[in-house]
Amino acid sequence: MPAVPPPVPTPQEPVEPQELLQLGTEADEPCLRADAARNRARLLEAAALLVAERGADAITMEEVAAAARVGKGTVFRRFGDRTGLLTALLDHSEKKFQAAFLTGPPPLGPGAPPAERLRAFGLAMLRRTGDELELQLAAEPQAGRRFTSPPRRVLRHHVTLLLREAVPDADCELLAHTLMAQLDPALVHHLVRQCGMPPQRLEAAWVDLVDRVTGTATSR
């Protein structure tokens, strides 16, 4: 006898706007004096430039301090060690990106149709990954935490909410995993750096994927 096909997912309840899981905020840290806040901002900016130029594995705390024009002790007091510095740098980037899709202007932020927001989200993710590829690869969670780390959960939850608006009769939780796989930094590294694929091809593929999943099409 032929195999019985799996049941079609039942339509999901309409999703009301809800607050996403938030990453750490500046309020989580001790209140900083104005000079300490300026030093922290300079250190993060200097670290970001060094990572972009040479890769996360090549930078040292001493180089970051020199580039930011602060004492080496300031870097260690503020971030503890190199891992703490890279973690703070990635967290800073995550907060800016989360603010953009939570409260920023459409189509990435609220106010555009869900399919349009999905397209904008993936394009912004791919461009951000291209700008920060070395940092994101250095901060890649271990296999056991890959799908449970707070930043990944925030992004996947956002995609799930948009899918529930765009295709409410789909298994949106699993579909969100499928879409997020195309935005994975390790895959971007493989396709762009190892296969020589132009980033524009990845962006076009993302838009095509969203169009096919949601049954919509852009006017390109």
- Helix-strand-coil split of the chain, %, nearest 5: 65, 0, 35
Domains of the chain with bracketed CATH:
34-84 (1.10.10.60), 103-213 (no CATH)
What is the average pLDDT across 97-113?
Answer: 96
Question: Tokens representing 203?
Answer: 């962006």
Residue 210 has pLDDT above 80, yes or no: yes
Least confident of 38-42, 53-57, 99-103: 53-57
Tell me how far CA of residue 183 lies from CA of 38, 65, 124, in angstroms.
33, 33, 10
Most confident of 28-42, 44-58, 84-98, 194-208: 194-208
Residue 171 gets the label, from left (phi > 0), alpha (psi -120 to 50) or beta, of beta
Which of 115 and 22 is assigned the larger pLDDT? 115
pLDDT at position 32 is: 56
Q: Enter the tokens of residue 21.
A: 């899981």
Q: Is the peptide bond before 107 cis (omega within 30 degrees of 0)?
A: yes
Instruction: Note the pLDDT of residue 208.
Output: 97
> How far is CA 119 from its chain centroid?
14
Q: How high is the pLDDT of residue 132?
A: 87
The per-residue pLDDT for 167 is 97
Higher pLDDT, 202 or 19: 202
Positive or negative, the CA dihedral 18, 24, 25, 31 is positive
pLDDT interval class at 11 (50, 70, 90) = very low
Q: What is the mean pLDDT of residues 175-186?
A: 96
Cα separation, 172 vs 158, in Å, equals 11
* Nearest in space to 87 (alpha carbons), one of 37, 125, 39, 139: 139
Name the least confident of 35-39, 88-92, 123-127, 207-211. Answer: 35-39
**In the predicted structure, residue 82 carries a pLDDT above the cut 90:** no
Examine the pLDDT at 131 and tell me if it is beyond 70. Answer: yes
Residue 186 — very low, low, confident or very high, per pLDDT cuts 50/70/90?
A: very high
Q: Is residue 8 over pLDDT 80?
A: no
